[in-house]
Structure 1
Amino acid sequence: MVYQFEMERIWIDETELFYQVKLQLRSSVCSSNQNVYMQDEILQELIDFIAGLNNAWGKEPLIWRLFDSDADDQKISLTFTLIDRTGTIQVDVWIDDKWDHDPFDHFHAAFKFRTTMGQLDDLSTQLKRFIRRETDHVASLRPE
């Protein structure tokens, strides 16, 4: 089955303070595979954003950013917007990944996909298991 959000831990620091993951984001017309470094706190922010979206009934779009503000080479953001009263969520994906030392090594993408509040809850549950080291793989947000 194809999921719109997949993440696999491919390397972890011996102190377990940070790790590298392969983050795959997919829509019906575009997909992206990014290897990114992150910490549990970054994923906890995404879990908190999902809870915030649920608690606010989606009245305001929420943006989760995956990048270091000091780094210029890789930036990923996901904007979650409630688009109807049945709980349909639009996720706007924005990726800018470049290698400053090679002007030809650059990837930029902006695409959208839809999901539901229930699927975001599933994503949140899987991310919690990922943080607790119960799994090294997250696959969530099935296409409608």
Structure 2
Amino acid sequence: MGGNEVACFLLEGRGEWEDLKARLLRSFPDLLFQLVDARSGSNERFFRLITAQTLKASGDGSLLARKPEVDLLLRLARTTQISEALARVGYKRGEKRILIAAGKKWEVMRLVASGIVVGMRLRSVELSENEWLSVEEAAILSALRT
């Protein structure tokens, strides 16, 4: 990922996403943040590979949507339809969720060290066959657009 990093946290409890998002964006304006339903994955390596696709697409102007945050949601849901992506992997109020933070390595490391995000960091382990298939399907979305 050449200088980029991803950190994923499992968030539980009734914390308000909008408040956390505002604090994160104020403190780390150059990072990409996305909140997804916790059932969409539990492996940081899986999220790292999909997020790498979004960061690359953002760098070369080939995002699936106008915003990288939406592109990431589409890739995680393996669809080009925003409403489908929200239904499949979007965070629903009151449920467990995963915060994905991505960007320059030093900036992500600064976020992790800051302690602003109160949540358990996801483990990074070998991908399952299903996770590999999902990563491939997410990559194919870009090919379908060209």
> Whose relative contact order is higher, 1 or 2, with alpha carbons under 8 Å and at least 6 apart?
2
- TM > 0.5 between the two? no
Q: TM-score, normalised by structure 2?
A: 0.28
Structure number with higher helix proportion = 2
Question: Which structure's CA Rg is the greater one?
Answer: 1
TM-score, length-normalised on structure 1? 0.28
Select the structure that is richer in strand. 1
